[in-house]
Structure 1
Amino acid sequence: MRNAAPLLVLALVATQVSARARDLGIPFEGVPGRLNSITDVGGVEIGQRTLIEGEGALKVGVGPVRTGVTVIFPRGHADPRPVYGGFFDLNGNGEMTGRSYLEDFGIVQGPIGISDTNAIGQVYAGIQQWTSKHFGAATWPVVAETWSGYLNDIEGFHITGETAVAALDNAKTGPVEEGSVGGGTGMVCFGFKGGIGTASRVVSIEGKSYTVGVIVQCNTGDRKVLRIAGAPVGQALAKRWLPCFDPKVAASAGRLKPCTADGSRGETPPDQGSIIIVVGTDAPLMPEQLNRVARRAAMGLARLGSYSGNSSGDLMLSFSTAPGEVNHEDQDRPSPITPIANARIDPIFEAATQATEEAIVNALVAARTMNGANGARFFGIPHDELRAILKRYNRLESITK
């Protein structure tokens, strides 16, 4: 099976498109940053490592493999300084490390990792090894997960510490690859192929400009409730492009039904699998304010119709890259940070909500149809049909290049 990997990778890459939600004419509120990405926040770098290997029947420990790692450096890979952080647990059917340090000190140390459910420990170890080598001491990182079991040999433990190190070594600023990449490789979003998505907003508070950026790993959502730009897209596509499996590959694939050409005999899984949302900003905010920002990211998810189902781990993390030393456990001087007054914070809340909504739609638009373990097939959301639905509801903008 491993010998087939190069051809499979080429085939899957060929199906990817560079379109983002705005390229399709989907309207969003707010003013995006230059790249409409979390890397619009000065200093933030993203690294990703994607593992795609094999096809056909599932053989635990061999494949097919559809997984990876995504990492976020709040201050870049050369700056070890911690940042103030916040957290919100919308539904706790998932895991995120580093929460005790967040709750007591309101601090995020070093890079943040996002990966597969069964890779939490390996990514944690990889980040510790990398930071020990590059920063002189191992950090206690935040690492979060979502479940890739429909498409990936999740019990094969294909993510290692070296996978995380490769993602860390790849970290850079600039455009962020979206869709079926990094930690989002094997993920599913509202019954369509999902994965990584990002967006940003620029706001002004008392004459000063601030950027709010979001990156998501979307692996959640009930198809029937999906709304994009307010249009009931999930209802319109409730009986087509449904997850299924190829009976020529395997006799069964869990809860999935045999495929037809348009997925009309498939079945949408329940709202499960989880979403991780990371919000970064250069606005000077204290930990309790960042907890409040994290809660607004949940509202961006809700704009898409999500009710945060019982089986979905919906976890939100936020951080501020404002200059100055944070009040960590060994701090012996007052922190020089002067936070934005709570009476002026609403533009940050609004930006976090708007950017989260768009980041999730970007993940949906970027992710294309993928086949995985036992011939499981998750369709990418059909761009032409999506545009037709939005046009029907007067929610489509003209596209200008």
Structure 2
Amino acid sequence: MQTPRRVRDLGITIGTLPTGPLNAITDVPGVRVGQTTISSGDLHTGVTAIVPSSVADDLPAADGLPAAEGLPAAVAVGNGYGKLVGSTQVDELGVIETPILLTGTLSVFRVADALLTWLLDRNPRATSLNPVVGETNDGHLSDIRSRPITPAHVHAALDSASADLPAEGCVGAGTGTTALGFKAGIGTASRTVDSGTVGVLVQANFSGTLTVRGTEIPAPPLDADGNSCMIVVATDLPLDARQLGRVARRAVFAMSRVGSDYAPGSGDYAIAFTSNRGRTFAEKGLRPVFQATMESTEEALLNSLTMATTTTGFQGRTAPAVAHDVLVSRLESAGLLD
């Protein structure tokens, strides 16, 4: 058994921009993450909650939730083979007005309903809310038809959200996911640019050949259901919804850096939001933001793999963790280790 380690702890540096203090989405001011994990027998699934709050002085948030006006946001669809609840209103209005939750495919609707209950309990005057809930198919390792997620699981993830370094690998919505032939899960990373921070959290569950800094790490075939990826991008830069759409697309592009084959049945989505409603960011300043997004996404995807552990689940199926010694040896031979 190997100890889960982030890629930087293995001597692997992705990109050139500096990371935030935690190298996580929670480096973005006002962003918190909470998770609930179910891992027993035939069940390997869970909930991951990304809870943003406003940092605008004139629009303070209450209880860690966005103010009523919502936060600027956008959705990018790499391939729409998925069930992203609430995405059309985000497209239409360019805002999110609830936390973003991730889970397994057939639990997405129960999670959305539980999120609504949690929100209505905190806002007695609300008559319309647009819950945003994404998913990937964890049916290879979990009895997906049982739909085990309850309101208690959802509320626990929301209530436990913190600004600490989020757990990665086989936790929350990543408990039963696989990617690139290996056990994967939740991963996160961040980058700083001159005027702010970009942070990313991923739920990795897609096919292809693992590629690290251009070096392929082949895996035995893994006949896993579902080939999807959810990517959440947070920033404190004052971007508008159109600019956030451009950022979100770069996050989907970054999947190619780690070897995604963008399979026909892959639901690949990115949601980008900002906690800053300030003056619109200059268009010419987006280049480093794009770079920060792609580097953070690439590293978050790799962290989702190196922080995962070999898992045996539904019907005795097993998903192996990527072997750190093999990964390090191949990169060392290629002269790509720090």
If the TM-score is normalised by the length of the shorter chain, which range does it land in? over 0.9
The structure 1 residue matched to 2:66, chosen from 53, 61, 80, is 80
User: What is the deviation of 1:79?
Assistant: 3.1
For residues 100-124 of structure 1, give each alpha carbon's deviation from its aligned partner in whole angstroms, at most 9, with x where no partner exists. Answer: 2111110111110100000111110
CA drift of 1:268 comes to 2.6
CA offsets per residue over residues 178-210 of structure 1, 9 Å max, x none? 000000000001110010000000001xxxx21
SS for the counterpart of 2:189 is strand
1:371 maps to which residue? 312
- In structure 2, which of residues 34, 37, 43 is the aligned counterpart of residue 65 of structure 1? 43
d(CA) in 2 for partners of 1:198 and 1:135? 31
1:78 shift after superposition: 2.4
CA distance in 1 between partners of 2:176 and 2:2 (Å):
14
* CA deviation vs aligned residue, 1:334-372 (integer Å, no higher than 9, x gap): xxx311111111111110000000000000000010000
User: Quick check: 1:122 aligned with 2:99?
Assistant: no
- RMSD of Structure 2 on Structure 1 (CA): 1.5
Percent of aligned positions that are identical:
39
Q: List aligned pairs for 1:114-193, cutoff 5 A.
A: 114-136=102-124, 137=126, 139-193=129-183
Partner of 1:264: none
Query: Which one of 4, 29, 39 corresponds to residue 42 of structure 1?
Result: 29
Confirm or deny that 1:278 pairs with 2:232: yes
Please, which runs of 5 or more residues in structure 2 have no aligned partner?
Answer: 55-62
Determine which structure has more spread, i.e. the larger CA radius of gyration: 1
Whichever residue aligns with residue 129 of structure 1, its letter is T
Shift of the 163–179 alpha-carbon distance from structure 1 to 2, 3 Å rule, reads same
Partner of 2:267: 313
Instruction: Write the mapping of 1:342-357 to structure 2, written as runs, cut at 5 A.
Output: 342-357=283-298
- Please state whether the residue corresponding to 1:119 is helix, strand or coil: helix
CA distance in 2, matches of 1:389, 1:272: 28
**Are residues 1:228 and 2:215 paired?**
no
* Residue deviations 1:50-82 (CA, integer Å, cap 9, x gap): 01122xxxxxxxxx1111000101118523312
Q: Does 1:27 align with 2:13?
A: yes
Give the corresponding residue for 1:387: 328
Unaligned runs of 5+ in 1: 1-14, 55-63, 243-266, 325-336
C-alpha spacing 1:16/1:39, structure 2 compared with 1 (3 Å): farther
Shift of 1:230: 1.5
Asked if the contact 2:139/2:225 (under 8 Å) is kept, the reply is no
By how many angstroms is 1:310 displaced?
0.5
Q: Which residue number in structure 1 is paired with residue 57 of structure 2?
A: none
Structure 1 match to 2:60: none
- Contact 2:45–2:142 (CA<8 Å) still a contact in 1? yes
Is the alpha carbon distance of 1:187 and 1:358 closer, same or farther for their aligned partners in structure 2, counting shifts above 3 Å? same
Aligned to 2:50, the other structure's residue is in SS state: strand
Find the counterpart in structure 1 of residue 252 from structure 2. 298
User: Matches of 2:190 and 2:164 in 1, distance apart?
Assistant: 13
Aligned equivalents of 1:228, 1:284: Cα separation in 2: 32
Q: Is the 8 A contact 2:180 2:259 kept in 1?
A: no
Relative to structure 1, the CA distance from residue 102 to residue 286 in structure 2 (aligned partners, 3 Å threshold; closer, same or farther) is same
Q: Secondary structure at the match of 2:73?
A: strand
2:77 corresponds to: 89
SS at match of 1:145: strand
8 Å CA contact 1:231–1:395 kept in 2: the answer is: no
1:272, distance to aligned residue in structure 2 (A): 4.1
Deviations, residues 278-325 of structure 1 (Å, cap 9, x unaligned): 000000000000000000001211111213110111011100000x4x
Indicate the SS of the match to 1:171.
coil
Contact 1:95 1:144 (C-alpha < 8 Å) held by counterparts: yes
SS of 2:45's equivalent in the other structure is strand
**Structure 2 CA distance, aligned partners of 1:295 and 1:270?**
26
Match of 1:155, SS state, is helix
User: What SS does the aligned partner of 1:345 have?
Assistant: helix
Tell me, in whole angstroms, the C-alpha distance in 2 between the residues paired with 1:363 and 1:351. Answer: 18
Name the CA distance, whole Å, in 1 between partners of 2:320 and 2:93.
43
Alpha-carbon distance in 1 for matches of 2:37, 2:87: 26
What pairs with 1:3-22 in structure 2 (closer than 5 Å)? 17-22=3-8
- Amino acid of the structure 2 residue aligned with 1:369: T
Alignment size in residue pairs: 325
CA distance in 1, matches of 2:226, 2:264: 7
Specify the SS of the correspondent of 1:351: helix
Normalised by the size of structure 1, how large is the TM-score? 0.78
TM-superposed deviation, 1:16: 7.7
Q: TM-score, normalised by structure 2?
A: 0.93
- Give the Cα–Cα distance (whole angstroms) in 2 for the partners of residues 99 and 197 of structure 1: 22
